[in-house]
Structure 1
Amino acid sequence: MSTTSNYLPVRAQWLASGTEAALEPEMPIIDAHHHFYERTGWTYLLDDYLEDAGSGHNITASVYMQALTRYRKDGPEPMRPVGEIEYVTGTTAALQKGTPQVAKGIVGYADLRRGAAIRDVLEAELAAGDGRLRGVRHLVTWDADPTLVNPLSAAPRGLLLDPTYRAGVAQLGSLGLSYDAWLFFPQLPELFDLAKAYPDTPFIVNHCGGVVRIASYADQRKDVFDTWSRSMRELAQLPNVFVKVGGLGMRINGFEFEKGERPPASTELAEAWKPWMHTCIDAFGADRCMFESNFPVDKGSYPFSNGWNAFKRLTVQASEHEREGLFRGTVAKVYRLA
């Protein structure tokens, strides 16, 4: 794996050196996107998330996002991701009557490249989800610069346009499931084409639309922003497309927060993120945008509390209705969490 595609390391002492108290600690928040990780040298499971979620902000519920965790170790290969749904459902079951309701909604993985044959896997995941499975994410990141692509999420070029893949996507709507999209910003026009073809299926763009500002894009920052902005505004024309506003603490985003002697303050985060996040909110509206922690992935760049403080700072001029949508209303609507 190339250094550019590695995850940023989580450094507990560094994070603790600049962790802020929560602003507006009573504001109810539904975290639209987080993971459990169980990988070599990196474990982040329920207790770890509860520690972060309990750091001062009022996290009332969350949406769990697939992360290759606890797959079945045997049985048919396409069915092995059902194990992640079984694990998450089981480990968070006792929390569903309290606060926070971790994994109140669950997004799983299924290999949509199998086309219509993926339906049996989707039905098995629905059964395993005990009423909480809300959608599927199939990672489709591709770029002409191979150093950008994490082998765990690499996909062939043009996958979103492939007829067999689309036959897999077509199964989601009839089962009441949404599609979470993780891709790089040059692929957004392909996502537009896919989402337009399935207007009854909700499409949720992850992490502000795949901002990439390193490697071959490092010296093209104005062009990156302009191209990304045009594509996001085009996507906003489709009423079935929504955006997760967050996920800008990854190495590929090129903000380099991890290089400071101390973690970035929420004021610094808000200033750096403002052009990107305000563009998303301006284009889609607060009723189609939702804030996400993207933990533990973004934990390499800043503490959980600072990230949510930055979101609060970015919306200080927004109306009460807009903030309600961004912090809890949109995610509850899209993932049917009521």
Structure 2
Amino acid sequence: MTRIDAHHHLWDLSAIEYPWLNAQGVERFFGNPTPIQRNYLLDEFSADAAAHGFGKSVHIQVGAADAWDEAQWVQSVADATPQWPMMQVVFSDLTAPDLEAQLDQFQTLSTVRGVRQIIGRAPGEDAQTGTNDLLQSQAFLNGLKLAGARGLSFDLQLIPELMPQMGKIVAQASDTKIALCHAGSPHDRSPAGLRAYALALKHLSELENVTCKLSGLGMFDHEWRVDTIKPVIEICLDQFGADRCMFGSNFPVDMLYSDYTKLAQSYFEIVPSDMQAAVFSEVAEAFYFG
């Protein structure tokens, strides 16, 4: 079984501009980005992942100044390393008046499988960015439907408080495959917070077109241990089932909290053995490579 890392990033700071990554002295919800303000390329990522049985991956857009430049660069990396199959999810503003033309262009690249437009990152940052307003946008819903009609999936990043409203939107775009990034970003890991998260998650887990990524759990738990992330993973496996859950490292962002070995071994310990083929390979294979 070739394992698949369904959510990671790469960047070459000499090739592509990432305004958020180049910002100096800016603390983010996921921590201080200083340690990752350097090139992070496929050779480093693949060496770490391959040591734990991974042999394919999915690159997720990561806030480049120009989404087309980033997509072309990722395509060039994939073309240069056919021994490491890699698909990508690109950024596209689903409310853009020229969305059709944008998607036409992206779909000339053989690695493009989906799009991502972040709805919510963290409560404090969302208040500043205004991305939550997409939930009120008919254009966003229309774009979500259009992506699905073109065979593109949508990577959904939001926080639990937005799940009830997002569930109503996703239900209207039932032909669009949705990948819920970072298990829905449960930022409150207290017992009460996890109960509220589990209730909110049902608004998405009850929709058959939604698949859950077990990824990015360190962003709101910088000192995480197996016992602190296990409840989140168990909630997701319980609600979605192993046939709608897939693993993602979120490296190099989650490199701020652990190395790849700790991350992989922790997930192998938490995910029951009879679910591992699905979570670490089969679901991502069908979702992104099928």
> TM-score, normalised to structure 1's length?
0.74
Measured in 1, the distance between the counterparts of 2:127 and 2:133 equals 17
Mapped contact 1:135–1:177 kept (Cα < 8 A): yes
Question: Residue 111 in 1 paired to residue 98 in 2?
Answer: no
- Are the equivalent residues in 2 in contact too, given 1:290–1:328 (CA < 8 A)? yes
SS in 2 for 1:92: helix
Offset of residue 150 of structure 1: 9.4
Q: Does 1:202 align with 2:177?
A: yes
Residue in structure 1 matching 2:198, options 229, 233, 253: 229
Residues 190-245 of structure 1: CA distance to partner in whole angstroms, max 9, x if unpaired?
A: 221111001110011000111113xxxx8xx2332111101212321110000001
Q: Which residue of 2 aligns with 1:139?
A: 118
* 2:118 aligned partner, one-letter code: L
Aligned to 1:62: 57
C-alpha distance in structure 1 between counterparts of 2:4 and 2:175, whole Å: 24
Query: Which of 65, 77, 92 lines up with 2:78 in the alignment?
Result: 92
Deviation for aligned residue 1:318: 3.5
Aligned to 2:141, the other structure's residue is in SS state helix
Counterpart residue number, 2:216: 247
Moved over 2 A (4+): 37-43, 45-48, 50-54, 148-151, 154-158
What SS does structure 1 have at the residue aligned with 2:258?
coil
Output the CA distance in 2 between the equivalents of 1:142 and 1:206: 10
1:290 matched to 2:246? The reply is yes
**AA partner of residue 119 (structure 1):** E
> Over residues 282-326 of structure 1, what are the superposed CA-to-partner deviations in whole Å (9 max), with x where a residue is unaligned?
1001110001100001000001111010111012x441xx21110
Q: Secondary structure at the match of 2:81?
A: helix
Mapped partners of 1:84, 1:210: distance in 2: 25
Q: Does 1:180 align with 2:180?
A: no
TM-score (norm 2): 0.86
Matched, 1:123 2:118: no
Note if contact 1:110-1:137 (Cα within 8 Å) is conserved in structure 2.
yes
Taking the TM superposition and a 5 Å limit, the aligned residue runs for 1:303-322 are 303-315=259-271, 317-319=272-274, 322=275
Residue 142 of structure 1: how far off its partner (Å): 6.4
Tell me the equivalent position of 1:36. Answer: 10
Q: Which has the larger radius of gyration?
A: 1
Q: Residues of 2 paired with 1:183 and 1:118: CA distance?
A: 22
Q: Say how many residue pairs are matched.
A: 268
Q: What displacement does 1:155 show? A: 3.2
The one-character-per-residue Cα deviations of 1:83-119 (angstroms, maximum 9, x if unpaired) are: 11110001221322x2x32xx211000111215x311
Identical amino acids, percent of aligned pairs: 26
Q: Is contact 1:180–1:204 with CA below 8 Å preserved after alignment?
A: yes
Query: Match for 1:45: what amino acid?
Result: L
Q: CA 1:60–1:51 in 2, change beyond 3 Å: closer, same or farther?
A: closer
Segments of structure 1 that go 5 or more residues without pairing to the other structure are: 1-26, 72-79, 258-263
Q: Secondary structure at the match of 2:135?
A: helix
1:138 CA drift (Å): 0.2
Between the aligned partners of 1:113 and 1:246, the Cα distance in structure 2 is 27
Q: Over aligned residues, Cα RMSD in angstroms?
A: 2.0
Query: Which residue type is aligned with residue 50 of structure 1?
Result: S
Aligned residues of 1:33 and 1:65 also touching (Cα < 8 A): yes
Of stretches 154-163 and 30-39 in structure 1, the one that deviates more from structure 2 is 154-163
Matched, 1:275 2:254: no
Residue 149 of structure 1, CA deviation: 4.1
Letter in 2 for 1:275: P
Q: Which deviates further from its counterpart, 273-282 or 163-172? A: 163-172
